[in-house]
Amino acid sequence: MSEPTPYISHAPYIEAVANALDAAGLTVADWNGDDNDPRDAYIEFDRTLTAPTYGDDTEVNLLWNEERGWMVGWGDVDSVSQSGLDWVIDLFCGVLPTPAEMVDEARTVVAKIPRPQGGPYGRYRDSGDDDGLDAQLATYHHNH
């Protein structure tokens, strides 16, 4: 018997976003939430969806970090290292936009390669902040 998957507090939120993307026709190839500090996650788009804009050999991901919020990352699958992507651009849409808001963001990301904003990366909070984030994340937990 396999070990039960440990509960990761932000995974239900990331799963809700991934499900909303799939339901909107923005096909998700994979997603994962990691219990790092700060907590982070990714949602990888199916390449057939992103190939017209980014090319056939490019992996495109929505990236989430509890301090920086949502970003988009992409890179050539042959050159992408295990530790990251060639490009990462902040979306500046906050830490917990709704799944529907992320569908709107993703439609833009899939249709057009984002350009750097020219400023420092976004930072909305610190991982140790007592600001209600855990309670907000818990609203996405439905008996997982």
pLDDT at 82 over 60: no
The predicted pLDDT at position 125 comes to 80
pLDDT confidence band for 4 (50 / 70 / 90): very low
Nearest-angstrom CA–CA distance, 54 and 87: 12
Beta bridge partners of 62: 43, 72
pLDDT confidence band for 42 (50 / 70 / 90): very high
Query: Closest Cα partner for 61 from 79, 84, 34, 38?
Result: 84
2 or 48: which carries more pLDDT confidence?
Answer: 48
Nearest-angstrom CA–CA distance, 132 and 135: 5
Strands (E), 66-119: 69-76, 87-90
Nearest-angstrom CA–CA distance, 110 and 54: 8
The predicted pLDDT at position 36 comes to 87
pLDDT in tens, 89-140: 999 899 999 999 999 999 999 999 998 766 666 777 878 888 888 889 989 9
The predicted pLDDT at position 37 comes to 87
Peptide bond into 116 cis (omega under 30): no
